[in-house]
Amino acid sequence: MLKRLLREPLLHFLVLGGLLFGLYGLENDGAASVGEKPVIVVSRGSVEHLISLWERQSGRLPTPQELQGLIGNRVREEVLYREAIAMGLDRDDSVLRRRLAQKLEFITSDISAQAEPTQSQLQEWLDDHPQDFRLPARIDFEQVYLNADRRGEQVRQQAQELLETLEGKGAEALPGAGGDRFMAGFRFKDATSVDVAQLFGDAFAQALFRLPEGSWQGPLESGYGLHLVRIGRKTPARQPELEVVRGRVVAAWREAQRRQLNAAFYRGLRQRYRVVVETGETDT
């Protein structure tokens, strides 16, 4: 019971506010007042972080002089940042405001990323959103291609004659035989309507998936010319079992949790403010 409770994202939200504002005053390179002069504290954790970054980039530890330079740059950045905030330079910077807001929302994103859904939660999500995970219909087919540019006005007559020849040969008829060379080949396996449309066009794909299996048919027209086709195997669209699409379901579930946490987090913060619009009206 306790483990299930600890996995609930909304429980994480309840402690989020306390963590957020509690951590703000900890060893976070913040300012501590000594008399009237603010102090910049470069914590041990920050120094270790600077060393780690240097080692990752250069492949070695920094020398004492290099470390002093890294710390100096960190202090310089903090001084300029605080002075910029004190001068209000952040107020009219929409990019900076958006970035800071995003960083705050990333906290809830991290929480949702750590949440582990149960099997029943995933199954429920799949059942409630079937269209998001439905597996598309697939088709195997073979073709004989006739190049309309090369064959000219005779292409349709030649296609009809070739179709009769292929029908006469039945199962012995080979794909591509009697036709022209086609860059993508003559056999296609497990193609979806999207796959077919990307190569031959939407109208071709729609017509192809309506054809019955087994015999040579056509011609179907594409931007390349005419095609005689034989449908091998059709796999209808279907709703998959959870294990087939588990990774996608987990990702969708976590994204929904992230949005839910962000919304709840914002509602909690929003209640702390009274917004006055410049028209003089008060938003309560």
**Domain-by-domain residue ranges, the chain?**
1-27+94-134+242-284, 42-92, 138-235
pTM: 0.55
For 49-82, the pLDDT digits (tens) are 999 999 999 889 999 999 999 999 988 888 888 8
Total residues found in the chain within this entry: 284
For 108-155, the pLDDT digits (tens) are 666 666 778 889 999 999 999 999 999 999 999 998 899 888 888 888
Helix crossing, 9-24 with 94-114: angle to 10°? 130
Residues paired with residue 145 on neighbouring β-strands, in sequence order: 180, 227
Does an H or E element contain 226, and which? strand 225-235
138-235: what CATH class? Answer: alpha beta
Say what the alpha-carbon torsion angle 199, 201, 206, 212 is, to the nearest 10 degrees: -50
53 phi/psi in degrees, rounded to 5: -60, -45
Least confident of 6-10, 233-237, 243-247: 6-10
Residue for token pair 């070695």: 60
